[in-house]
Structure 1
Amino acid sequence: MRVKTIIPKALLEEVKSSDKALADAPHEHVPKDVILPEKFLDGPAPNLTKERIDWSEGGLLQNRDRWAVVLDGVLSEEECTQLVAAAEATTEGKWERAMVNIGGGMQALYEDTRNCGRIIWDRRDLAAKIWARVEPAVPEILRLENWADVTGNGPAKRNEVWKATRLNERLRFLKYVGGEYFKAHCDGTYETPDRTERSYFTLHLYLNDSEGKNGQDALVGGATTFHAWNMQGRMDVVPKAGRVLLFQHRDLLHSGDDVISGTKYTMRTDIMFRKEENVTQEE
C-alpha cells in the first residue's frame, strides 16, 4: 500500500481478482544477510545542499502550496555504489518485477503502468543512518500542525499534531533499464499495522547519474517528473548520485520517465510520523 497508482476502475477490479495480486507483508521479504562496512553511512552528509522546487518554472502553479525539495550530496558516489551492491547481494543479483499497489494490502503486476526491477530490503539501521543525514536539512516538516495540504482536512480539523519519527525501514531499490518507466501516479499514505505511525512524505534516493562513471553506460532519460493534472505542465528532477528528492504524498502527480539508454538505480522509502497524544483537541 505504499503507492496508489491511477488505474481505470474496470481494470482495477480486474487486477484485484487476478491471481497476480498479493499482499505486501513484511514476512514475505526475507533477504540474505549482508554484512556492511562497520562505519558505512556513519556521520553527516558529505556536502549537502538544499533547493526548494520552484513550481512556477514548470508552469505548475497548481502546486504552489505543495512541498518538495532536492537535497544534493546526501551520499557520496562511492556510498551509492556500495549501497546498490549490498542490495543486490541480498538477492544474489536478482531483481523481481515491481508491482503496482492497488489498495487493501494488495499488489498486481501491471507493466503498462510500472515497468522496472525491484529489490525490497527491510533494514532499519540503514534507514536510520540515511534519516540522520536528511533530518537536519528539513526542519520545516518535522512537526505537522494545521497543514491540511499535507495531512488532509481531517487531522487539521481535529487539531492533530504529527511528529516525524524515522524513515520506513522498507527500502525499495528500483532498477530501470532501456525502455522502462513508471507512469503518472500519486503516492499513498502507509500506516503501520499497529496504526501508531503513518507516512506523509516520499524519499527518493538516486544512486547513479547520467555521467556513466565506473564503466557504466551513460544514463539517458529517467527523470522524476511532476505533472499538472491536465498534463500540460511538467517539472523534471534529473537523477544524480547521492541526490535525495523529498515530496509530500498528497496531490503531487509524478512519474518516472522512460530510460532511453543506460541504467537508473534509485531507492524509495517514506518519512514516518506519530501523532502527539498530549495535544488538546477541540470538542
Structure 2
Amino acid sequence: MAASNVNAMAGSMQEEFATMIFKYSASPKDNDLGKLAHEFAALHNMNLKPLKLLNHAIQQSQPTSEFVEHLTHAGWLAARSVLTCRQDIMFEVLDSVLTEAECRALINRMSPALKSVSGALSRLHPLGEQRASKTEYCLSVMENKRFADVIWQRLMDSEAFASIYKYTQREGCGMPLGLAPRLRLLRYEGSDRFDAHYDRIVPDEATGSESLITVLIYLNDGGGVDFSGGETLYINPENMAESVGVVPRRGRVVLFEHCLYHSGSPLQHIDDSANQRKYVMRTDILFRIQAKNHDKY
C-alpha cells in the first residue's frame, strides 16, 4: 500500500478514536468506553492494549504513565519544547501536544455553538484599568474536566514541567491544581483580531482556585497553510526588540503567565483567501487562591 494511503488511513483511525474519547468524556454515564474500545479494535484489527490503557486512564481522570509512554512511541503524543524565553518569566512553546485528529475533533464538536464576541474587556497596558479593546472573534465554550486532565498530564510529562515548577518557586503560589475544565474555542476570520492586553486572574470561590498561567492550543496551521498572519505576539513595551511572535501550528501549545502583554495579529488575506479561519483553544492553569492577588481580579 502506498505511504500516502497508509498515512491517510492512520489519520482517519486517529480521528475516529479521538471522537470516541470526546463522546465518553462528555457523557461517561451514557457510554461504555471499554465496550467501544473492543468494537473499535475488532473493526480495525488492532492490538487492544493501548485502548485498554486508555479506558483505565479516562476512568481515573488522567492517563497512566504506561499509556502516555505508548502514545509517545506510537507517535500520537510527542510534546516537545520548541521555544523558551527569559529565565525570569513563565513562557513555553510545545509542539505535538494534541494530535491532528484531536484538533479536528475539537473544531467539529465545538464549532456549532460559536457566537460572535466584540469589544471584550481586557486589562490593558500601561494603566491597567478595565476598558473595551478592539476585539472581535467567535467563541464556543465546553466544560470537559476529563479531557482537560488528559491535556494536563501531557503537559506534566513534557519539558514545560520545569518551567511551571520554577514559576511556582518564584511566585510562592504552591503547586498547580491542574487545567481549568472550561475549554474555550476561539475562531478568527475576516478582520477579526485581539488587541494587545494582559490576561486577568480569574478566581473561582466555589473551588478555591484562581488562574495564573494561560494555555493556548492552536488547532490549525498558520504560516500560509490554513491561513496567513494570525501570529500571537508577546510584547515587551520597554524593549520591542525582545518581543516574540509565535506562528500557530496544529497541536502546538503556548504556556505563559498572565502578566505577559500580548496580542493576536489579524489574518492576512491574499488574493481569494478571504475564507481563511484560525482556530485556537484557550484554558488556564489553576492554583489555590492567594489573598495577595485580590486586587488583580
Question: Normalized against structure 1, the TM-score is what?
Answer: 0.65
Question: Quick one: percent identity of the two aligned structures?
Answer: 28
Q: Report the alpha carbon displacement of residue 67 of structure 1 after superposing the two structures with TM.
A: 1.6
Aligned residues: 211
Computing the radius of gyration from Cα coordinates, the structure with the larger value is 2
Q: Among 155, 170, 180, which residue is 1:168 paired with?
A: 180
1:244 aligns with 253
Q: Report the alpha carbon displacement of residue 231 of structure 1 after superposing the two structures with TM.
A: 7.3
Bigger relative CO (Cα 8 Å, ≥ 6 apart): 1
Q: Report the alpha carbon displacement of residue 259 of structure 1 after superposing the two structures with TM.
A: 1.1
Determine helix, strand or coil for the equivalent of 2:203: coil
Q: Report the alpha carbon displacement of residue 211 of structure 1 after superposing the two structures with TM.
A: 6.6
> 1:99, 1:35 → 2: CA distance?
33
> 1:36, 1:237 → 2: CA distance?
33
1:68 aligns with 91
2:108 aligns with 85
Task: Provide structure 2 residue ranges, at least 5 long, that are not aligned to the other structure.
Answer: 1-21, 26-32, 34-53, 69-75, 124-129, 270-275, 291-297
Question: Normalized against structure 2, the TM-score is what?
Answer: 0.63
Instruction: Give every structure 1 segment of 4 or more consecutive aligned residues whose post-TM-superposition deviation is greater than 6 Å.
Output: none
Q: Report the alpha carbon displacement of residue 133 of structure 1 after superposing the two structures with TM.
A: 1.1
> 1:139, 1:269 → 2: CA distance?
17
In 2 relative to 1, CA 46–212 (structure 1 residues): closer, same or farther, beyond 3 Å? farther
RMSD: 3.0
> 2:78, 2:280 → 1: CA distance?
19
1:139 and 2:127 are equivalent in the alignment: no
In 2 relative to 1, CA 113–136 (structure 1 residues): closer, same or farther, beyond 3 Å? same
Q: Report the alpha carbon displacement of residue 81 of structure 1 after superposing the two structures with TM.
A: 0.5
2:6 aligns with none
Task: Provide structure 1 residue ranges, at least 5 long, that are not aligned to the other structure.
Answer: 1-33, 56-63, 149-159, 277-283
1:263 aligns with 277
2:147 aligns with 126
1:222 aligns with 230
CA deviation vs aligned residue, 1:138-191 (integer Å, no higher than 9, x gap): 22314755514xxxxxxxxxxx54111111111111000122110000111111
Counterparts in 2 of 1:76-115, with a 5 A limit?
Answer: 76-89=99-112, 91=113, 94-97=114-117, 100-101=120-121, 110=132, 113-115=134-136
| Conserved 8 A contact 2:223-2:248 | no
Larger proportion of strand = 1
> 2:182, 2:139 → 1: CA distance?
12
1:274 aligns with 288
Larger proportion of helix = 2
For 2:219, give the aligned amino acid. Answer: L
In 2 relative to 1, CA 49–228 (structure 1 residues): closer, same or farther, beyond 3 Å? same
| Conserved 8 A contact 2:97-2:155 | yes
Q: Among 9, 15, 23, which residue is 1:35 paired with?
A: 23
In 2 relative to 1, CA 75–193 (structure 1 residues): closer, same or farther, beyond 3 Å? same
